[in-house]
A and B are shown apart, each in its own frame.
Chain A
Amino acid sequence: MSPEPASSFCSIGTEVVVSCASETELRAITALFDAWERRFSRFRPDSELSLVNRSRAETIVVSPVFARAVRAARAAAAATDGLVDPTLGAAIEAAGYDRDFSELERDPLPLGPAAPGAWSSVRIAGRVLSRPPGVLLDLNGVVKSMAVDTAVRLLSGDGFVSAGGDLACRGETRVSLPGGGSVRVLAGGVATSGTSRRRWRREGVVQHHLLDARTGRPSRSRWIEVTVAAASCLQADIAAKAAFLLSCDGPDWLDERGLPGRFRSTEGFVENSAWRGALSTSPEPRGAAA
């Protein structure tokens, strides 16, 4: 069966686009996203995430997929010194993001109490998860990009999978970036995190989903969006969030890790050294990228 050029469906609160997948591959990818949405949604009372957050037991056995996401979230928190924190479930609800984004409206209710992050209190050993009472997990910081990375492995040939700002590819892909401009992604993933889409109001104040784990409140970064290219979509996504939250220190933080990043503010675009270096080199021949 010949592969379709591109197909799309809605899952995990965004549009998922799959390129060059056979019908069988597309079905498998759709099933994967749907399964992960059912498992990790904060808005489904029967999701595993909701069941874990409702459980009063300090220690609980979780599914292998859930354990893997927790492990990734913990590792991401450690790699970013706690900037990308999986324990901000209460904080995001306090900011008003307590239902599907499409249902959020201007909300006259006051902000809930601030709930700073506590990622180091979360432990995972095999499938045994422990966390202090009252800590609400929100694994969406890693789940979507992990799903994209997992889905792209289902493609038998070259192609890409994107979900919102997250993209992973097999083979060369031309990627148009939010805010204008484009790059060729030869391998790995690209992710853009920012506040230009997921914004709402509480007490007349604009809120967004990129929270400062120290305060438990939406961060006051100078950036609107940050785009990062990395070896995987998960890495790109984590790095983009961390760079966004670091505000002015974001470009250097990415450079220290060799990660190309493009930053958008109200004044225009800023590219870090790694981004400028990557785009000034001669184009590599197809297939040469690791």
Chain B
Amino acid sequence: MAEPQSRIEQARRRAADAKKTLAAAAAAGFVVALGLAYASHPGIAASGAAEQGSDLGRLEGDDSELDDFGFAPGSIAPSTGGDFDSAPQAQTHVS
């Protein structure tokens, strides 16, 4: 049969429990604050629903192609010849 705890031991246990509770609450508060800060940041908050809710994210492409910007020529040919009738026709302007 366990011996009854002294009042001092009971007080120490209560203090230890209170410290644990306080530490857990502080950690939880920190995580919540971090999450709120992240969610309210301009870069995150400005994410449009159209981008969030669609597959546009997968179209972002390979970022490595942007880090090493190399020029490669396009493929153009005279406007006559080829599949002239069926090719779509575009009118470009000036940017």
Query: Would you give the 0/1 interface string for B77-95, flagging 1 where the beta carbon is closer than 8 Å to chain A?
Result: 1111111100111111111
B95 A192 Cβ-Cβ under 8 A: yes
Interface residues on A, range: 35 or more
Q: Apart from A172-B83, A278-B75, what 5 extra A-B contacts exist at CB < 8 Å?
A: A14-B95, A72-B69, A173-B87, A190-B76, A280-B78
Interface of A is mostly: mixed
B74 A182 Cβ-Cβ under 8 A: no
Cβ of B2 within 8 Å of any chain A Cβ, yes or no, is no
Known: A47-B46, A68-B63, A150-B59. A164 touches B93 (CB 8 A): yes
B60 A64 Cβ-Cβ under 8 A: yes
A284 B67 Cβ-Cβ under 8 A: no
Residue in contact with B50 in the complex, picked from A31, A72, A169, A181, CB distance below 8 Å? A31
Q: Chain B: residues with CB nearer than 8 A to chain A? A: 41-44, 46-48, 50-51, 54-57, 59-61, 63, 66-84, 87-95
Residue in contact with B89 in the complex, picked from A32, A64, A164, A174, CB distance below 8 Å? A174
Complexed CA–CA distance, A78 and B68 (Å): 9
Interface of B is mostly: loop
Q: Chain A: residues with CB nearer than 8 A to chain B? A: 5-6, 14-15, 17, 19-20, 28, 31-32, 34-35, 38-39, 46-48, 51-52, 55, 60-66, 68, 71-72, 75-76, 78-79, 127, 144, 150, 153-154, 158-160, 162-167, 169, 171-178, 181-194, 196-198, 225, 229-231, 235-239, 257-260, 274-275, 278-281, 283-286, 289-290
A176 B76 Cβ-Cβ under 8 A: no
Residue in contact with A68 in the complex, picked from B66, B80, B87, CB distance below 8 Å? B66
- Closest Cβ of chain A to B2, distance in Å, is 55
Residue in contact with A173 in the complex, picked from B46, B47, B66, B90, CB distance below 8 Å? B90
Nearest chain B residue, comparing its CB with the CB of A186: B75
